[in-house]
Structure 1
């Protein structure tokens, strides 16, 4: 927890070099820390944990902008994200526009886990920095990472990620596909006539709003039902301005 908070700047300035030094010290006697350090050292990172390079995206749609980054994260990083949520998974929830709180709803029938700031190990934080560069946003604009697991028949029905009546809108969505050894489960944008087949390690990045900041109805999308196997993804909603993860309301 101390390593996570040092790196993400909770209560103090962000200190990536200091967090890496702490992780390296713990890794000498702790196998979990050693595994995390090995993953971090495999990444091409600058001194502050920012990526030195990212893949070039494929543009799937102009309006709304839908981009696909092939091979955005490695197989080991995919496994790490899925495993980071195993002890937290619970029935998925949606944002209630009346109360601005998460509630269970039949539109979303997966299991999910929220990786809050105390659980953001350095592997996860490096990936969040990579998403920030790809989306041309600051890390602080992102909501906590969601890990989702879809069993056979589970889906996320047609919806918009933009929220009604909020000042700090969800302008972009980043979806990481963590596996592809399943059938079904594609991401469909019916109004844009785009359907994306999940490929492990790919990032799907799309814009939820119009230039005036209002929700873009064409950006509505659905996670199609899984037909066979289990689908794992990680989702990061990105706001127009910095988002306080300690005080979401």
Structure 2
């Protein structure tokens, strides 16, 4: 079974100290699709480090929020501010991994080469990245032949090849087997330890409990709760969050 590499506490502390300063401020964020509001007057403040889990029932607007924050969609109204950087500059410092990996119809290695070349990165990093995610032995294999877990690990390696300051993850372990889930979590946790800011959409309560530093709870297109994970799970402050955690809101 593939196991993600582990770094020492000393190295993790050093990397945290070097974490990029890219805090997020969102004010009055709105999005309409076909004239229907799907995100409504959303406010949010995220610090420059850690792992934020975005949770909520289906239709709450979680994936749409990620796309807005990453600049893939334009809001109908409101403000998204990454420490004063314009949208184009902020987006260059981010990467997004979807639930279903979107891979090039090329070899595993060529998927990494494409990103390294496009971002002007050292192409000599490819082999280290593939080793990091446990895919060195499949470097020459067509990416389309990978299993679901392997494909997601390649998607993560490709995202990390761009050396992002912020990594968005939209349910990257949905439908994967338990071993693959833990492998993905290990890679993401190490990225966080190295200073990458993680913003992660999940429906997996166990995963959120294992990984979250804080939780943003969306309901009806609004942020109705944002609190540290060690406070949110034992004692949510809203009835909607309590219902969600108790399985009384369909996810």
Q: TM-score, normalised by structure 2?
A: 0.29
Structure with the largest fraction of strand: 1
Q: TM-score, normalised by structure 1?
A: 0.30
